[in-house]
């Protein structure tokens, strides 16, 4: 009967029951990093990571809380849309038309103002 007990204790079943949790943590960390990389590339903004590029992003376009984010090489500027930034006096210079193909064409009102 003693041989039977020893055989039972020598099996791999007496390992640490929480040993598999370390592997789950590693898998979760790899998954989280993969999601972050996919997020950066899905928004097509790897230029934000390049210190020599110039990028302009518009968050919430057309809403009162619209923000313009300008990255000029190493300097990042956030512009909140207020009357001082987006408003002012001016004159109409022409009309812009968007074609079915998505192309935008600008037609000036008169050629002398250009």
Q: What is the pLDDT of residues 81-95, one digit of tens each?
A: 765 555 567 778 888
Q: Is the pLDDT of residue 31 over 90?
A: yes
Structure token digits, residue 38:
């996919």
Q: Is the pLDDT score of 113 beyond 70?
A: no
Of 83, 72, 78, 64, the C-alpha closest to 48 is 72
Which ranges in the chain belong to alpha helices (H)? 2-9, 19-42, 83-86
Confidence at residue 65, expressed as pLDDT on a 0 to 100 scale: 83
What is the per-residue pLDDT for 32?
A: 96
Helices (H) and strands (E) in the chain, counts: 3, 5
Poorest-pLDDT segment among 18-22, 27-31, 50-54: 18-22
3-state helix, strand, coil in the chain (%, to 5): 40, 25, 35
Confidence of residue 13 (pLDDT cuts 50, 70, 90): low
Q: Which of 33, 32, 27, 57 is nearest to 44 (CA)?
A: 57
- pLDDT over threshold 80, residue 22: no
More confident residue, 12 or 95: 95
Q: Check residue 30 and give its pLDDT.
A: 95
pLDDT digits (tens, 9 = 90+) for 54-70: 888 888 887 888 888 88
Q: What is the pLDDT of residue 37?
A: 87
Largest CA distance in the chain: 108
């Amino acid at each position: 009967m003693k041989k039977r007990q020893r055989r039972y204790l020598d099996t791999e079943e007496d390992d640490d029951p929480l040993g598999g949790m370390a592997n789950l943590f590693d898998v979760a960390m790899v998954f989280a990093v993969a999601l972050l990389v996919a997020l950066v590339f899905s928004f097509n903004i790897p230029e934000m990571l390049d210190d020599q590029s110039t990028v302009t992003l518009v968050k919430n376009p057309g809403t009162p809380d619209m923000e313009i984010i300008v990255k000029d090489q190493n300097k990042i500027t956030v512009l909140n849309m207020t009357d001082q930034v987006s408003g002012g006096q001016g004159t109409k210079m022409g009309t812009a038309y968007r074609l079915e193909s998505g192309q935008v064409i600008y037609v000036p009102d008169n050629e002398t103002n250009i």
